[in-house]
Chains A and B, each alone.
Chain A
Amino acid sequence: MYNFDFEKPSTIADAVAALGDDEAQALGGGQTLIPTLKQRLASPSKLVSLKGIGEMQGICIADDGAVCIGGASCHADVAGSSDVFAGLAGLAGGIGDPAVRARGTIGGSLANNDPAACYPAAALGCGATIITNNRAIVADDYFEGMFATALEEGEIVTEVRFPVPEASNYQKFEQPASRFALVGVFVAKYADGVRVAVTGASEEGVFRWAEAEAALSANFSAEAIADLKLDSDGMIADLHGTSEYRAHLVGVLTRRAVAAAA
C-alpha cells in the first residue's frame, strides 16, 4: 500500500469538499478498494471515508412507499431490515460472507459497478433511483458498462430508492472461488410490468433481458420463458464458464427467480 492522507468527514458537504482534491478517492466499506490498495494497484493521494456521515446511514420508507437506503448502509443492515422487501433483503444477505456484509456498503457497490456484483442487478431490476450529492439518476441511465457509471468525478451515492415490487427474487449462481455472481438474475414484478436484470454474465456489465421481461409481463410464470434462450454473443468467457454456459445459466436462474417470486 502506498501512503495516502485520510479524512473521515461527518457531513456530505464536507465529504464533497474533501473529494475536490486531485486524486482523492471516496472510501465506502473498502471491500474492493482496500485489497486494490494493498496490491499497489491504486495510489490515491487521499482517502475520504464515507462511513462517518450520519445522513448517509439508515433505511426508511418514503412517502411514495419506496425503500430508501442510505448510501453508507452496510449489506447486513439491508439484509436484516424489516423495511426492506424480501427480494432485496435476500440479495443483500447473500453477498460475500458475514465480514463483507458488515463492512461493504450499497453506495460503494453501485459506485464500483463490478460486473459480477449483486447490487447492480437489484438496482436495475427494480428501476431504482440513485441519489447523489447533487442529483437523482434512474438506474436505466446509471450503469454504463463494466466498472463504469454515470457518476462524475467526486460525486457520491448518498441514497438509493427502490420502488417496492409486488413480487421479486434474486438468484445467484456463485463463481466457486470468489463467490461473486458467475451469473445473478433479479426479477421484479410491478403493476406496469416485469423487470429482469442480469449481473455477472455480460461483458457490458449488468443488463436488462428485454425478451424475458416482455414474456413475463404477459405471463408471470417460469413456463412463459421455458423456451427463451439468450444469445451468448457478448457474454463473459473465463476460467469458470464459457459464454454459452453463462447464457444458459441466465435462462435457468431467471426461471428459478420467477418460480421463487410467483
Chain B
Amino acid sequence: MPKDHGIGASPKRREDVRFLSGTGNYTDDINVNGQAYVHFLRSDVAHGRIKTINTDAASAMPGVLKIFTGADFEGVGGIPCGWQVTDRHGEPMQEPAHPVLAQGKVRYVGDQIAAVVAETVEQARDAAEAIEVDLEELPAVVDMKAALADGATKVHDDLTSNLCYDWGFVEENKPAVDAAFEAAAHVTTLELRNNRLVANPMEPRVAIGDFNRGTGDSTLYTTSQNPHVIRLLMGAFVLGIPEHKLRVVAPDVGGGFGTKIFHYAEEAFCTFAAKALNRAVKWTSTRSEAFISDAHGRDHVTKIELALDADNNFTAIRTDTHANMGAYLSTFAPSVPTWLHGTLMAGNYKTPLIYVNVKAVFTNTVPVDAYRGAGRPEATYQLERVIDKAARELGVDPIALRRQNFITEFPYATPVAVEYDTGDYHGTMDALEKIADFSGFEARRKDSEARGKLRGLGVNCYIEACGIAPSNLVGQLGARAGLYESATVRVNATGGLVVMTGSHSHGQGHETSFPQVIAEMIGIDESMVEIEHGDTDKAPMGMGTYGSRSLAVGGSAMVRATEKIIAKTKKIAAHLLEAAEADIELKDGTFSVAGTDKSVAWGDVTLAAYVPHNYPLEDIEPGLEETAFYDPANFTYPSGAYACEVEVDPETGKVTIEAFSAADDFGNVVNPMIVDGQVHGGIGQGIGQALLENAAYDENGQLLSASYMDYAMPRASDVPYYNVDHSSQTPCTHNPLGVKGCGEAGAIGSPPAVVNAVVDALQSGGHKVDHVDMPVSPSRVWAAMNA
C-alpha cells in the first residue's frame, strides 16, 4: 500500500490551493505606495549606431518623471557574466561590456535604448513614442558561420571578432580521437540544428525597485529563480550596494524554465531609478517584450561523428558545434555549450575517446542562456540521433546497439571529466520495454498503414548531470560563484517548524515535498512544517533553483539542519527523561528511553527549549534553530530510456504523437505525484521543441516568430497520454536523501525520441530520409519526403 505521508507519499500540492484559487502573490500583485512605472524604448533594428537621442519633447509630456538613457549609466557597472570559459589555447573568452541601457550601439531587436519613468504605464508608453532616436543602421550579424568569416561585421567593435571562445574538450584527447576515427570500421556523421527557443513562462518578468530614504535600504521585487544570486550580482557588480543594504524578494513565480535565473538590465534599472527618483519604480513585461528580452535557449549547430569498430562497439565521438550567444553574455551563457554540454557527451555509453569542439559566437540576436536542461538536451539530442542513424546504416536494432554499448559498472569515469556514481541503464531500458509495449508495435503500424498513415517508433536514452553543485569543481570550470545550498530550520515553542531554504519554488512543489522529508525524519505530520523561500532577508544565502538541484542540494541542506535539530532535541529529551543521551530514540514524534516506557513528546521538548525552566543550560543554549550549508561531492546522474510513437500523414507531412513512454531513474523519490508532473511537463516542452517551437530570425535580425501568432507552443491536443515509470531506482551515493533530481529529464530525453520516431516512420514508407531538423513541422517533413 502506498504511504500516506512522509517520503514516498503523494499528498496533493498545498501551494496549488492558492495558485488555483487566485490567491497567489506574484510580483505583479505587489504594489508599493507611490510607485511609478517604467516603459523601455527598445530597438526595432538588430544593429545600429546611436547618433543622438533627443528626449526634450518626450520629457515634457504628461506624467513623465524622468527619461533615462545610456548616458545616465556612465560610471555604473554593467550586467555581469557569471561564468568564464577558457578556450583551447588557454586564453579567457572574449567578454563584452553589457550596459544597463545601450551605449553607442544597439545590438539586437529588443535592446533597451531609453527608459521612461512616468506616473502611469500608458503615459510612459506615450512619451517613449515621442523620443527621437537618430540611428545609423548597420548590417546585422545573424548566421553564426557567417559571423566568423573574415571581414564579418563585428557585434562588438572593441572585440577582435565575433568569436566568444573556441573550446576544445578534452583538448589533450584530440590526437587519440582522430586516430580512432582513422582506424574505425564504420563512421556515422550527422549535421543538425538544436532549434532556438523562447522559454515562455506563464508569468512574464516583473521588477519593482524601491528605496527607503530613511534607512538607505534598497529592495527589489523580482520574478527570479534565485533572489540571492540577483542580490549578489546586482549589488556587487552593477549598482555597488552591499548585501546588508539590499533586499531581493522573489515571491510566487509563475514558471521559470531557466530564463528567470539570470540578472537582467530591467532589474538593475528599477533599483537604480528608485533611488534616483526616490519613488518605487515598477516594470511589468508585456508578452511581446518577453519574446525580445527574456534570454532565449538552445540554438546550437552541430556536426557529430560516431566511430564504431567491426563489432559495433563505439570507439570514438567527435563533435563540432557552433553555439549562439546572442548579442551579450547572459549570466550563465558561456557554461551551457561547454561544461553543461561537453561533459555529457559520453551519455550512457562506454565510448573511450571523445572530443568536443564548441565555438561560441556573438550575433545580433537576443542573448541565449540556460533553458530547461541547458546543454544536456543539446548533448543528448545529437548523441541519440547519431546512434540511431548508425543503427540504421548498419542494419542493427537501435535498442540492441545501445544496450551493447551501455556502461554497466559504477562508479564510471567518463573520458569527458565526470564520474557517474550510480546507474542501471539496462534496468531503465527493461522498464521502458515493459511500459511501451514494443511487441505490439508492428500491429499498431499495420493499423496506421490501413488508415493511410506512416507509423514510427523512436527510442533513446539520456543521462544528465544535475544537482548542480560541487563548488570546488565548478570553480575550477570557471563559475564565478559557489553552488552549495542552505537551509535554516526554526522550531517554534509548540513544535511547528519553519524551513527557510535558499531553493526557490516556481512550480516545483517544494512547499509540499520538503515537509514530507522533515515529517519522515521527526515522525510528525507534514502540516507542522512550513517552507519559506524567495526573500533574502529571511533565508540564508542560497543559490536558488535550476539544474534539478533543489531536493538534491537544497533538500540535503535541510536534512543536515534538521539533523542538528534532532541532535539538540535528544539532549533536551535526555535531560527531561533523566536518561543518557545515547539511549534516546525519536520515533513518531516521541522521544523515548530505549528499553523503558519513559517518553516525552516532541512538543514538550520544543517547549522546554523556549521555556527552559528545567533545562541543561550549562550544556546547551535555549532555543531551537539550526542552519546548514550543503555542498555535495559530485553531480547527480539521473538517467532514463524514452520511447515515442508517431504517425505521419504522408500527404501533408503532419506528425502526431500517438504514444510516449518514459522510464526514469531518479534514485529515491520523495513525492511520486510531483515527479510524474515534472516528467510530464518536461516531455511536453520537449515535444514542443521537437514539433512546434522555433525562434527564427530573418537575415536582418528581425525575430519572425515574435508572438503566439507565429511561435507555436504545445497545447494539450498536441501531446499524448504519458506512460511514466520511475521504478528503476539506483540511489545517489553521496547525498543523504539518495535523490538525483527530475526537473529537466523530460525536456532532455524527449526530443530525440520524437525525431527518431519520425525518421522511422518515413523510412517505413520507403522514403530515404535520415534526418529532419527540429521543429519537425509538416512543411519540413513534406519537403524531406519530396527532396
Using a CB–CB distance below 8 Å, which chain A residues touch chain B?
1, 39-40, 173, 176-178, 180, 238-242, 245, 248-249, 252
Which residue among B125, B694, B710 has the maximum number of chain A CB atoms within 10 Å of its CB? B710
A233 to B129, CA, bound (A): 40
Q: Which of B699-738 contact A (CB under 8 A)?
A: 704-705, 708-713
Whole-angstrom CA separation of A180 from B707 in the bound complex: 14
| B129 cross-chain contacts in A, Cβ below 8 A | 40
Instruction: State which of A39, A177, A241 has its C-beta within 8 Å of the C-beta of B288.
Output: A39
Q: In the complex, are the beta carbons of A245 and B705 less than 8 A apart?
A: no
B705 to chain A: closest residue by CB: A239
Determine whether the beta carbon of B709 is less than 8 Å from that of A245: no
A249 contacts across to B, CB distance below 8 A: 652
A173 partner residues in chain B, CB cutoff 8 A = 652, 654, 778
Given A242-B779, A252-B651, decide whether A40 and B288 contact each other with a Cβ distance below 8 A.
no
The answer to the question of B692 belonging to the interface, with a C-beta cut-off of 8 Å to chain A, is yes
A-B pairs with lowest CB-CB distance, top 3:
A177-B712, A241-B779, A176-B712
Q: Is B493 an interface residue (CB 8 A)?
A: no
Which of B122, B704, B708, B778 counts the most A-chain CB atoms under 10 A from its CB? B778
Picked from B122, B691, B704, the residue with its CB within 8 Å of the CB of A239 is B704
Q: A39-B288, A239-B694, A252-B651 are in contact. Are A176 and B708 (CB under 8 A)?
A: no
Is the beta-carbon distance between A177 and B708 smaller than 8 angstroms?
A: yes
Q: Give 10 pairs: A residue, B residue, CB < 8 Å, sorted on A.
A: A173-B652, A177-B705, A177-B710, A177-B711, A177-B713, A239-B694, A239-B705, A241-B778, A245-B779, A245-B783
- Once the chains bind, are B782 and A245 in contact (CB under 8 Å)? yes
Question: Considering the complex, which residues of chain B in the window 633-661 have a beta carbon less than 8 Å from any beta carbon of chain A?
Answer: 651-654
Asked whether B288 lies within 8 Å of A178 as measured between CB atoms, the reply is no
Q: How far is A180 from B710 in the complex, measured between Cα atoms in Å? A: 10
Q: How far is the CA of A238 from the CA of B705 in the complex (A)?
A: 11
Residue of A1, A39, A241, A245 contacting most chain B CB atoms (<10 Å): A245
Residue of A nearest to B704 (CB): A239
20 further contact pairs, Cβ within 8 A, besides A173-B654, A176-B691, A178-B709: A39-B288, A40-B129, A173-B652, A173-B778, A176-B778, A177-B692, A238-B704, A239-B694, A239-B704, A240-B710, A240-B779, A241-B777, A241-B778, A242-B783, A245-B653, A245-B779, A248-B782, A249-B652, A252-B651, A252-B652
Q: With A239-B705, A249-B652, A252-B652 given, is the CB distance from A176 to B777 under 8 Å? A: yes
Complex contacts, B782 vs chain A, CB 8 Å: 245, 248
Residues of B within 8 Å of A240, CB to CB, are 710, 777, 779
In chain B, positions 284-310 with a C-beta closer than 8 Å to chain A are 288
CA distance A163 to B300 in the complex (A): 55
Q: How far is the CB of B100 from chain A (nearest CB, A)?
A: 25
Contact B778 A178 (CB under 8 A): no
Which residues of chain B have C-beta atoms less than 8 A from A40's C-beta? 125, 129
Q: Mark B515-543, 1 if CB is under 8 A from A, else 0.
A: 00000000000000000000000000000
The answer for the CA separation of A173 and B781 in the assembled complex, in Å, is: 15
Tell me, rounded to whole Å, the shortest Cβ–Cβ distance linking B455 to chain A.
Answer: 20
Shortest Cβ gap from B349 to chain A (Å): 34
Q: How far is the CA of A173 from the CA of B622 in the complex (A)?
A: 71
**Closest A residue by C-beta to B125:** A40
List A contacts of B288 (CB < 8 A). Answer: 39
Q: Among the interface residues B288, B704, B705, B709, which one has the most CB atoms of the partner chain A within 10 A?
A: B709
| Bound: A242/B696 CA distance, A | 15
Q: Mark B408-445, 1 if CB is under 8 A from A, else 0.
A: 00000000000000000000000000000000000000
What is the bound-complex CA distance between A176 and B129, given in angstroms?
A: 33
Kindly name the residue among A1, A239, A249 whose own CB sees the greatest number of chain B CB atoms within 10 A: A239
Flag if B783 contacts A239 (CB, 8 Å).
no
Pairwise interchain contact B652-A239, C-beta atoms closer than 8 A: no
Q: How far is the CB of A1 from chain B (nearest CB, A)?
A: 8
Question: Which chain B residue has the least Cβ–Cβ distance from A256?
Answer: B651
Interface residues in B536-573 by Cβ distance below 8 A to A read none
Q: Is the CB of B778 within 8 A of A239?
A: no
CA of A83 to CA of B127, assembled, Å: 52
* B-chain residues with CB within 8 Å of residue A176 when the two chains form the complex: 691-692, 712, 777-778
Q: How far is the CA of A231 from the CA of B265 in the complex (A)?
A: 50
Collect the chain B residues with CB atoms within 8 Å of residue A241's CB: 777-779
Residue of B whose beta carbon sits closest to that of A255: B651
Q: Within the assembled complex, what's the spacing in Å between the Cα atoms of A240 and B654? A: 12
Which of A177, A180, A248 has the most B CB atoms < 10 Å from its CB?
Answer: A177
Cα of A180 to Cα of B783 in the assembled complex, Å: 21
- Chain A residue nearest in CB terms to B698: A239
Contact of B696 among A178, A180, A239, A252 (CB under 8 A): A239
For A248, the closest partner residue in chain B by CB is: B782
B779: chain A residues at CB < 8 Å are: 240-242, 245
CB nearest to B775 among chain A residues? A176
Q: Cα distance A240–B775 when bound, in Å?
A: 10
A178 to chain B, nearest CB (A): 4
| Distance to closest chain B CB from A180 (angstroms) | 8
Task: Determine which of A39, A239, A245, A252 lies in contact with B710 in the assembled complex, contact meaning CB atoms within 8 Å.
Answer: A239
How far, in angstroms, from A249 to B783 measured CA to CA in the complex?
12
* Least CB separation from B781: chain A residue: A245
Residues of B within 8 A of A180 (CB): 709
Given the complex, which residues of B lie within 8 Å of A242, measured CB to CB?
A: 779, 783
CB-CB under 8 A from B696, the residues of chain A are: 239
A252 vs B129: C-alpha distance when bound (angstroms): 47
* B705 partner residues in chain A, CB cutoff 8 A: 177, 239
Question: With the chains together, A54 CA to B573 CA distance in Å?
Answer: 80
A116 and chain B: residue at smallest CB distance: B709
Chain B residues near A245 (CB-CB < 8 A): 653, 778-779, 782-783
Q: In whole Å, how far is A35's beta carbon from the nearest beta carbon of chain B?
A: 9
CB distance from B98 to the nearest CB of A (A): 28
Contact with A along B681-705 (1 / 0, CB 8 A): 0000000000110101000000011
Asked whether A177 lies within 8 Å of B709 as measured between CB atoms, the reply is yes
Q: Which A residues are in CB contact (< 8 Å) with B654?
A: 173
- Chain A's closest residue to B713 (CB) is A177
Nearest chain B CB to A231 CB, angstrom units: 16
A118 to B705, CA, bound (A): 22
State in angstroms the CA–CA spacing of A176 and B777 once bound together: 9
Task: Report B121-178 residues with CB < 8 Å from chain A CB.
Answer: 122, 125, 129
